[in-house]
Amino acid sequence: MKKALSLLALSTLVISSNAGVDKFEDDVIEAKQIANISEEGLSSLPTKKITLYQQYTVALNDANAKKLVEEQKPVEAEVTVGYNQKEIGILIKWKDETKSVQPAMTTNKYGDGVSVQFPVKYGKGTTLAYIGMGDSKHPVMTYLKKAVEGKDYQKAFIAEGFGSLTEIQEKGYTFTMKYDDANKQWIAFIKKPIKTPDLNLASGMVPVSFAIWDGNSLNRDGNKVISNWKFIKMGNAKVDPNYLKYISWGYGEIGNPARGKELMIQNGCNGCHRFADQTAAPEGLAPNLSKIGGYSNPIYLKESIVNPNDVVIRNLNINRHYNKAAGPDKNGAYPNNDMYTWYIKDDKGNITSKMPPYAHLSEQDLKDIVAYLKTLK
Ligand code: HEC
CATH number at residue 27: 2.60.40.1190
Distance 293 CA to ligand 1 centre (A): 14
Domain check: are 67 and 191 in the same one?
A: yes
Distance 356 CA to ligand 1 centre (A): 8
Task: Give CA–CA dist 28/22, Å, rounded.
Answer: 11
Domain check: are 232 and 328 in the same one?
A: no
What is the model's pLDDT at position 214? 86
Whether 353 is covered by a domain: the verdict is: yes
Distance 263 CA to ligand 1 centre (A): 14
- From its phi and psi, is residue 230 left (phi > 0), alpha (psi between -120 and 50) or beta? beta
What is the model's pLDDT at position 213? 92
What is the model's pLDDT at position 12? 45
CATH code (residue 360): 1.10.760
Buried b vs exposed e over 280-300: b needs ≥16 C-beta within 10 Å? ebeebbbbbbbbbbbbbbbbb
Residue nearest atom 13 in ligand 1 by C-alpha distance: 286
Residues (pLDDT < 50) of the chain are 1-19
Pocket test for ligand 1, best of 138, 259, 309, 355 (most atoms within 8 A of CB): 355
Domain check: are 100 and 155 in the same one?
A: yes
* Ligand 1 atom closest to residue 263's alpha carbon, by position in its atom list: 38
Domain check: are 192 and 290 in the same one?
A: no
Closest among 210, 22, 234, 207 to 126, alpha carbons compared:
207
Whether 12 is covered by a domain: the verdict is: no
Structural domain boundaries, residue 346: 257-375
Whether 249 is covered by a domain: the verdict is: no
What is the model's pLDDT at position 6? 45
Distance 330 CA to ligand 1 centre (A): 36
* Ligand 1 atom closest to residue 313's alpha carbon, by position in its atom list: 17
What kind and span of H or E run contains 374?
helix 363-375
Whether 170 is covered by a domain: the verdict is: yes
| Domain's final residue, options 173, 206, 240 | 240
Domain check: are 107 and 216 in the same one?
A: yes
Distance 269 CA to ligand 1 centre (A): 7
Residue nearest atom 26 in ligand 1 by C-alpha distance: 57
- What size, in residues, is the chain? 377
Cβ < 6 Å from ligand 1: which residues? 57, 264, 267-269, 271-273, 286-287, 292, 301, 304-305, 308, 311-313, 342-343, 353-355, 358, 369
Domain check: are 267 and 225 in the same one?
A: no
Domain check: are 328 and 206 in the same one?
A: no
Closest among 306, 289, 288, 311 to 135, alpha carbons compared:
311
* Ligand 1 atom closest to residue 296's alpha carbon, by position in its atom list: 27
- Contact between residue 161 and residue 130 where contact means Cβ atoms under 8 Å apart: yes
Number of domains in the chain: 2
Domain check: are 203 and 287 in the same one?
A: no
Residue nearest atom 9 in ligand 1 by C-alpha distance: 355
- Contact between residue 311 and residue 136 where contact means Cβ atoms under 8 Å apart: no
Please state, as a whole number, how many other Cβ atoms lie within 10 Å of the Cβ of residue 5: 9
| Domain's final residue, options 212, 240, 268 | 240
What is the model's pLDDT at position 328? 67
Closest among 297, 315, 295, 298 to 355, alpha carbons compared:
315
What is the model's pLDDT at position 322? 54
- Contact between residue 159 and residue 139 where contact means Cβ atoms under 8 Å apart: yes
| Domain's final residue, options 240, 269, 301 | 240
Domain check: are 227 and 129 in the same one?
A: yes
Distance 123 CA to ligand 1 centre (A): 25
Residue nearest atom 10 in ligand 1 by C-alpha distance: 355
Whether 261 is covered by a domain: the verdict is: yes
Name 119's bridge partners: 140
Distance 207 CA to ligand 1 centre (A): 23
Please state, as a whole number, how many other Cβ atoms lie within 10 Å of the Cβ of residue 266: 10
Distance 134 CA to ligand 1 centre (A): 16
The pTM for the full model equals: 0.89
* Ligand 1 atom closest to residue 308's alpha carbon, by position in its atom list: 18
Whether 9 is covered by a domain: the verdict is: no
Domain check: are 277 and 190 in the same one?
A: no
* Ligand 1 atom closest to residue 354's alpha carbon, by position in its atom list: 12
Q: Where are the alpha helices (DSSP H) in 27-123?
A: 39-43, 63-71
Domain check: are 268 and 367 in the same one?
A: yes
Distance 276 CA to ligand 1 centre (A): 15
Distance 272 CA to ligand 1 centre (A): 7
Convert the pLDDT of each residue in 201-232 to its tens digit: 999 999 999 999 988 877 777 788 999 999 99
Whether 304 is covered by a domain: the verdict is: yes
Task: Give CA–CA dist 344/218, Å, rounded.
Answer: 32
Residue nearest atom 41 in ligand 1 by C-alpha distance: 269
Domain check: are 87 and 204 in the same one?
A: yes
* Ligand 1 atom closest to residue 57's alpha carbon, by position in its atom list: 26
Whether 11 is covered by a domain: the verdict is: no
